[in-house]
Structure 1
Amino acid sequence: MKLKGKKKNFVEKNSFLVTGHISVTSYGFAFFKNIEGDTQDVFISKKDTNRAINGDLVLVKITKKKSRKKIKGKVLKIIKRKRKNFVGVLKLKTHSKYAYVKVYDNTIHVDILIQEQELKIYKNNEKVLTNIILWPKESKNPIGKIIKSFGISGEYNTEIFSLLFEYGFPYKFSKKIEKETKKIMEKENFDLRLRRDMRHINTFTIDPLDAKDFDDALSIKKLDSETWEIGIHIADVSYYIKEGSLLDKEAYNRATSIYLMGKVIPMLPEEISNNLCSLLPEEDKLCFSYIFNMNSKGKILKNWFGKTIIRSNKRFTYEEVQEIIEKNKGEYHEDIMDLFFFSKIISKNRLKNGAIFLDRFDTKFHLDSENNPIDIFFEKNHEAHRLIEEFMLLTNRKISEFVSLNLDGKPSRNTYVYRIHEEPDYQKISFLKSIIEPLGYILDLKNLKDSINSILKKIHGKPEKNMIENSILRCMSKAKYSTKNRGHYGLSFIYYSHFTSPIRRYSDIIAHRLLCFYLSNKKNEIKPIDFYEEQSKHCSNQERLAIDVEREFLKFMQVKYIKKFLGKKFNGVIIGLTEWCIYIDLLFFQIEGMIRLRDLKEDYYSLHSNNYSIIGKNKGKIFRLGDKIQVKIIDVNIEKKKIILEWLMKKDKIKLLHKEEQK
C-alpha cells in the first residue's frame, strides 16, 4: 500500500497522515480508503472514529505494524461532512430532556439527540428531517434540530414524501412552472403543413388499466393482399417543450417519471403529460412517427420517419387486447390480430439474432381507501404486452439505425444518444455457473446467450426461478445512455436508442430533437457532442435513482402487507448468503426475508469460501443457494424494511457435506 502525506512533526515513526473517505458500519467501527486510490482498506475502531459519519472526508493517522496484517488508523480531523441533514424517526423518551431521531438507512450510525424545547409541535414516531447543529467532543451522539416533518412513519404519503426528499426528487412543480404550463396549454395551435395527416387510418393505444399518460399509438392499414402499412406514433413532446425553457430545465432535472404503487411523480406537469401530449382517443394529437410497409412474411419493404397528426379511435387496456387475441373477436379485432401476427415474427427474428428473453412479473398490491396494501397479485406479461413491446423495440432500433447509418450502410458519424448495454462481467458469469450447476443447470460459456435462454425456459415454474433470474440479472451490465455507441448486448442490437416514451423520459426528448435536426437538414443547430454526453450521464444517473426509489417503496409496501402474517409458516428458497445472514424468497409472496445465522440453534453455521453454501461446524450439514426450506415469520420491521424469519429445519431434507468439502 502506497501511503502519502508523511508529516514527521505531527506523527510518530512508522505513521502517516492521509486524506480520504470513511465508511462507518452500523456497529460503529469503520474502514478508510486513501483518496489517492489505494485498494487496501484501513480499519478504524469505534473509539477512534472521532465523530466521523459514513462518507465524510477525513484526515487519518495510519500506523502500519509489521507484526499485524491489519492496517489500523485513527481519525484526526473531519475535513468535510458528506451530509448534515438526515431523515429519521422521532422517538420521544418519557421523563427526559432529550428525544432522539433514529436513522434507519445507515447514513449515520448513531441516534441524533433532540432538545426538549424542539419538541412542542412534534409527535412520537413522526418521520422528520433533522440537521446536526452540534456534536460535543465528549458525547457519543450529535445534537440536532428538526427542520420539517413528513408525517407519521409507516403511512403511505409519509414514505413517499420522505423517499423523494432523500433521493433529491421534487414532489411538486413550482408556481413559475405552473405559469409556463398554462401559457403552453392556452397557445395550442397546429401547423399541419409539415405534418403527414394520419387521422383517417385506424389507430389505437394499448396501455395498463391505470395509465393516464399515453405516449405511443399504433396504426395499421392493409394496402393489398400482401402488404400492410404500420405506424408507430409517439407523442411529439419536443414540439411543446422548447429547449432552454423553464419546463425543459425542470424536465431535464427530473429526467424521468417515477411510478409508485398508486401514485406517479411525473417528469412533466399532469396538464401536459396526461392531457396536452397524451394520445387520448377522439382527439387530434401531434406525433413523431415511424411508418413502414411490411409484407406477409414480416419483411419491411420501406421506412418513413417524420412528424404526423393522428386521431386515436380507441383506448385499449392490455386486458382487453389479450381477450381479443385469445378469442379472435372484438372491436378492431382484425387490426389487432394482424399486429399480433407481425409482432410474433419480429420477436422470433429478434430471439434468433441472440436476444435474451427474460420473462419477469411485477409484484402489485390492491390498496384500500387509505392506500394500505390489502391483497397481493403478480402482473405477468402476456401476448398483448409483447405486441406493444416488439413494436416499440423495433421503432427504437430503426430510428437509431436511420440516424447512425448512411444509405450505403456505412456509419454516418452523426451525433445521437444511444441506449447501450455492454457485455456481462465474465467473473460474475463464472460465479453464476458455480451457483446453478449444483442445481442441475449447465451454463455454456462459449454459447452464453442461447445457454441463458435455455436455462430461463427450464426454470419456469420451479422454486429456484426467482433466485436464478436475479443471479442472471446481477451478472449483466447496467444499461445506460451514451453518445458512444457500444450496442445493446441483451437485445442483440448494434444500434439502439430510447425514442418511444418522451412523456416520461428526458432521454427520448433528446432523441426527438436530434432526429428532427437531421430530417430538417439543420445539423448546424446540433450542439457539441460533449453537451449530449453530459445529458446522457445525467439521464442515466437519474434513472438509477428513480429505480432505487421505486424499489425502496415496493419494499415498504411488501413489509407492511406481510405484517399480518406474523407467526405463520411458509415455504421459501435460499437466494442469498452472507457471513451474518441467509436471504430467503418467500414463494407465496415473492418477497425477501432473512434468517440470522446466530439464530440457528441446531449448530454453528458459517459461510463456505465458495460463497454459495453454509456449513454446520459440528454436524457438517450444508445448505446451498436454491435449497427449498420451511420458515416462520417471527418479526417485521417496517422502518428497517426487514422481515425476520425462523428456519423450521426438517432433518430428512438436510443435505450432507461431501467428504471433499469436509476436508
Structure 2
Amino acid sequence: MTEEKHPKKYVEGRVMVTAKGGGFVDSGDEKIDDIKIEPAFLGTTFHGDTVRVLVYTGKDKYGRTTGEVVEVLVRARENFVATLRKEEDIYFAKAQNTRIHVDFIIPEKYLGGGKVGDKVIVHLVKWSDAKKNPLASVIEVIGEAGLHETEMRAIVRDRCFAIALPDDVEKEAEKVAQEYPARFKEEEKTRRDFRDTQVFTIDPDDAKDYDDALSFKKLSGDLFEVGIHIADVSFFVTEGSLIDKEAIKRGTSIYLVDRTIPMLPEILSNDLASLVPNKDRLVFSAVFTMNKTGDVKERWFGRGIIRSAKRFTYATAQEVLDTKKGEFSEALLMLDTIALKLREKRAKEGAFTFGQEEIKFELDAEGKPIRVYKKERLETNKLIEDFMVLANAEVAMFASGKDRAIEQTFIYRVHDVPDQDRVHELVRMLGALGYKVPKTRADISHSTLNTLLGSVGEEHRQLVETAAIQSMAKAVYSTKNIGHFGLSLKHYTHFTSPIRRYPDLAVHRLLAAYLAGKKVAEEDVHIYEAISRFSSQLEVSAQDAERASIKLKQVEYMSRFVGDIREGVITGMTERGFFVRENETLAEGLVHLRDLKDDYYVLDDTSFRIVGSKKKKTYTLGDKIRIKIKAVDMEKRLIDYTLV
C-alpha cells in the first residue's frame, strides 16, 4: 500500500491501541473519520496517550483514513501493572493490560525486590526509540502472579486506585469519631427528629454500609408521609479535610467479587455514618407527602435524626410482601404499591427499564470459585430503586427551581441522547432477530425506540438489553443540565449514596447551602465541573475493575470444566468467529470459525449471521446452541468454545 503524505495535515487526539497492536485516533474533526494507525507507525505510544498524528491523504484498501504518530504530547499514565519474566539474562515485564502492546525491559538494578513470576508495578523510565523496548523500574511488588489476593489487588492497582487509606486519613477519622458524641448532642437541638417514625433499611445480605433508609407514616385520608433518609456524610467529612481530599481522589467505592474498597475510612462508612439498626443516626432527608398513586403533594428537604428499627435484606423484605405479614408489613405493602405506580408513570413517560442479569460467586478459603449463581432481582430491589430515583429527581428539581445561579452550580447526573448511527445499528440487529422495525433511515425517536425494545421477547431480552445499553451514551456528572435520556427526566442528580460516591457528598453540601440561603460563588462553578468530570472518569475505572474481577473468576471457574458440554446463546459476530454466553455462568467465549470443519464459513455482518459457503448453514445472533469448553487462558482471561 502506498500512502501519499502531501499536503501535510496534522491532528491531535487520544490514541486507542488494540490488543493486536494497531491503533485509532479520534481527531475530533467531524470531516475526518477515526484515523487508523498501523503497528509500525505507533511510534513510542501507549494506549490512551494524547498524540500528534500525520494524516495521510490517501485511503487504505478498506477506505479508512490512515496516519502515523509523530509525537506523544501527553502520557495517559507512566505506571503499569505487569508480570516479571526473564529470558536468558534479560528481565522484562509483560503488562496486564493487553492494550499495552510492548514489554518493558527492567535492568537488574531496577528490580526493586521483585522476582520472576511476580505481579509488580513498573514505572516508565525512558522510551525514545520505537525500535527498542521501553525501559522501566519496579516501584511496587504486588505478589506472586496467579494467587487470588495478588490478582484482586492487581486489578485495582492497574486502574490506578490506591487500596489502603493513608495513615493520616485514618487518624483524622479516629479524631472525628472521638468528637462525635459531643457534636451529636448539639445536632439534636436543631435537626428534625424521626425517631418516633417507622424507619427501616433494605439492603443486600452482604452489605456493610447502609446509606439509605425509608420511613413511613399514615396521614389523614389517603395520604402518607414517605421519607428517604440518606446518611449525612457531609457532617463527618469537612470540605478540604484530609478525608475529603482522599475521597475526591478515589471518587467512589470499588466493588470486587470478594471485597469492597471503600471511598471513606471504615469507621465512618461501616459505623458512624452507616444507618445501622437500633442506633441514632444523622441523616439528610427527602420527605414527601404522597397518595397511593404516587403523586407528590408536598416535599421537605433537610437534616434529621433517625433510629432504624429493622435491617431488612431484599429477601426478608420480599418475604413480608409475599406473605403480607411480619414486621412493618403495612408500611412495606403500601410502599410497594406506591413504588409500582411511580414505575408505571416513568414507563409511560418513556423511561427505559433494563434488568441485566448479574452473577455472584461462592469462593473457598483460597479465593477459588466453587459456585457461580445468578442474583435474583426481587420486587424489593425495584422498590428501593424507585424511591431512590424519586429522591434524586426531586432534589434536582428543587435545586433547579431555586434560581438560575443555583441551577448552574449544581451537580447533575445527565444522560445524553444516543447517537443515531448506533441506534440504527441496534434497530438493524432487532430486524435480524425477526422483529418488525422501521424500514427507513429516518431518526428513531425516543418513543419509537422504547416501543421497539418493549416488543422484544424474553428469549432475546438479555441480548437486546446489553446491545441497547452499549448503543447509548454513558451517564455522567455535569454542572450543565441536559436531562436524563434513559430515565426520561428533565432533572436528575445523585443524592442517595454519599458513603460510596463523591458527587453525592458534593450534592449534599450544595443542597445544605441552598437550604441555608447561601449562594455558591461564581468562581467555584469550575470546581464543581471539575469534580463532575473527574468523578465520571473514576466511575468508569471502578466499574471496569468490577467487571475485570468478575471476568477473572468466570474464567477461573470454567477452567475446572474444560471438556464439559454446556448450553449457551450467540451474543456477537466477528470475522474470526462468534461469541457465545454460557447460560449458567454468563461467561462469554469465542467459537472460532477455523474449528467449524463441515464447511467454510464467512461473516455476513449485514444480517448478523455466519454462513457456510457450500451448505448455507447459518449461525445467527441470538441462536441457542450447545458448546464444549475447549480451552481457557487464565493470563489473557479468554475462553474458547467449540460447537457440539
CA shift for structure 1 position 350: 2.1
Change in CA separation of 1:456 and 1:150 when aligned onto 2, cut-off 3 Å: farther
Partner of 2:526: 530
Partner-residue secondary structure (3-state), 1:151: strand
Rounded to whole Å, the distance in 2 between the matches of 1:183 and 1:28 is 51
2:117 paired residue among 118, 125, 141: 125
Change in CA separation of 1:141 and 1:183 when aligned onto 2, cut-off 3 Å: same
Rounded to whole Å, the distance in 2 between the matches of 1:122 and 1:198 is 56
How many residue pairs end up in the alignment?
Answer: 632
Are 1:468 and 2:464 matched, yes or no? yes
The more displaced of 260-269 and 450-459 is: 450-459
Change in CA separation of 1:531 and 1:331 when aligned onto 2, cut-off 3 Å: same
Change in CA separation of 1:146 and 1:601 when aligned onto 2, cut-off 3 Å: farther
Are 1:88 and 2:101 matched, yes or no? no
Partner of 2:223: 227
Structure 1: gaps (5+ residues): 4-11, 649-663
Partner of 1:146: 138
The more displaced of 134-143 and 385-394 is: 134-143
On the 8 A contact 2:152/2:549 being kept in 1, the answer is yes
Partner of 2:635: 639
1:613 paired residue among 595, 609, 616: 609
One-letter code of the match for 2:273? Answer: C
Which runs of structure 2 are paired with 1:14-413 in the superposition (5 Å)? 14=6, 16=8, 25-28=18-21, 39=32, 52-54=45-47, 83-93=77-87, 96-114=88-106, 122-133=114-125, 141-188=133-180, 189-190=183-184, 191-405=187-401, 413=407
CA shift for structure 1 position 470: 0.7
The more displaced of 222-231 and 627-636 is: 222-231
The more displaced of 193-202 and 266-275 is: 193-202
Rounded to whole Å, the distance in 2 between the matches of 1:267 and 1:182 is 16
Partner of 2:418: 424
Rounded to whole Å, the distance in 1 between the matches of 2:569 and 2:97 is 26
CA shift for structure 1 position 638: 1.6
Partner of 1:567: 563
Rounded to whole Å, the distance in 1 between the matches of 2:35 and 2:233 is 51
CA shift for structure 1 position 477: 1.7
Change in CA separation of 1:19 and 1:218 when aligned onto 2, cut-off 3 Å: closer
Partner-residue secondary structure (3-state), 1:380: coil
Change in CA separation of 1:514 and 1:622 when aligned onto 2, cut-off 3 Å: same
Rounded to whole Å, the distance in 2 between the matches of 1:141 and 1:331 is 66
Change in CA separation of 1:28 and 1:281 when aligned onto 2, cut-off 3 Å: closer
Partner of 1:434: 428
On the 8 A contact 2:424/2:444 being kept in 1, the answer is no
Please give the per-residue CA displacement for 1:612-661, whole angstroms capped at 9, x wherever unaligned.
2233344444332112222211111122111111233xxxxxxxxxxxxx
Structure 2: gaps (5+ residues): none
Rounded to whole Å, the distance in 1 between the matches of 2:365 and 2:548 is 22
One-letter code of the match for 1:438? Answer: A
Rounded to whole Å, the distance in 2 between the matches of 1:524 and 1:322 is 43
Rounded to whole Å, the distance in 2 between the matches of 1:138 and 1:494 is 50
CA shift for structure 1 position 547: 1.0
Partner of 1:452: 450
Partner-residue secondary structure (3-state), 2:602: strand
Please give the per-residue CA displacement for 1:459-487, whole angstroms capped at 9, x wherever unaligned.
32x1x332211111112221111122221
Change in CA separation of 1:443 and 1:286 when aligned onto 2, cut-off 3 Å: farther
CA shift for structure 1 position 156: 2.4
Partner-residue secondary structure (3-state), 1:555: helix
Change in CA separation of 1:35 and 1:216 when aligned onto 2, cut-off 3 Å: closer
Rounded to whole Å, the distance in 2 between the matches of 1:626 and 1:277 is 46
Aligned-residue RMSD, C-alpha = 3.3
Rounded to whole Å, the distance in 1 between the matches of 2:64 and 2:515 is 63
Please give the per-residue CA displacement for 1:170-198, whole angstroms capped at 9, x wherever unaligned.
11111111121111111112222321111
The more displaced of 154-163 and 52-61 is: 52-61
CA shift for structure 1 position 388: 1.2
Rounded to whole Å, the distance in 2 between the matches of 1:442 and 1:340 is 35
Partner-residue secondary structure (3-state), 1:278: coil
On the 8 A contact 2:43/2:130 being kept in 1, the answer is no
One-letter code of the match for 2:174? Answer: K
Q: TM-score, normalised by structure 1?
A: 0.86
On the 8 A contact 1:51/1:140 being kept in 2, the answer is no
Rounded to whole Å, the distance in 2 between the matches of 1:196 and 1:56 is 51
Rounded to whole Å, the distance in 2 between the matches of 1:321 and 1:310 is 20
The more displaced of 152-161 and 44-53 is: 44-53
Partner-residue secondary structure (3-state), 1:626: coil
Identity percentage over the alignment? 38
Partner-residue secondary structure (3-state), 2:375: strand
The more displaced of 382-391 and 317-326 is: 382-391
One-letter code of the match for 2:582? Answer: L
CA shift for structure 1 position 208: 0.7
Are 1:626 and 2:622 matched, yes or no? yes
Partner of 2:486: 490
Please give the per-residue CA displacement for 1:319-356, whole angstroms capped at 9, x wherever unaligned.
11011110111122222222222222222222222221
Rounded to whole Å, the distance in 2 between the matches of 1:71 and 1:353 is 42
Please give the per-residue CA displacement for 1:262-285, whole angstroms capped at 9, x wherever unaligned.
211111110001111111111111
Q: Which has the larger radius of gyration?
A: 1
Rounded to whole Å, the distance in 2 between the matches of 1:13 and 1:128 is 42
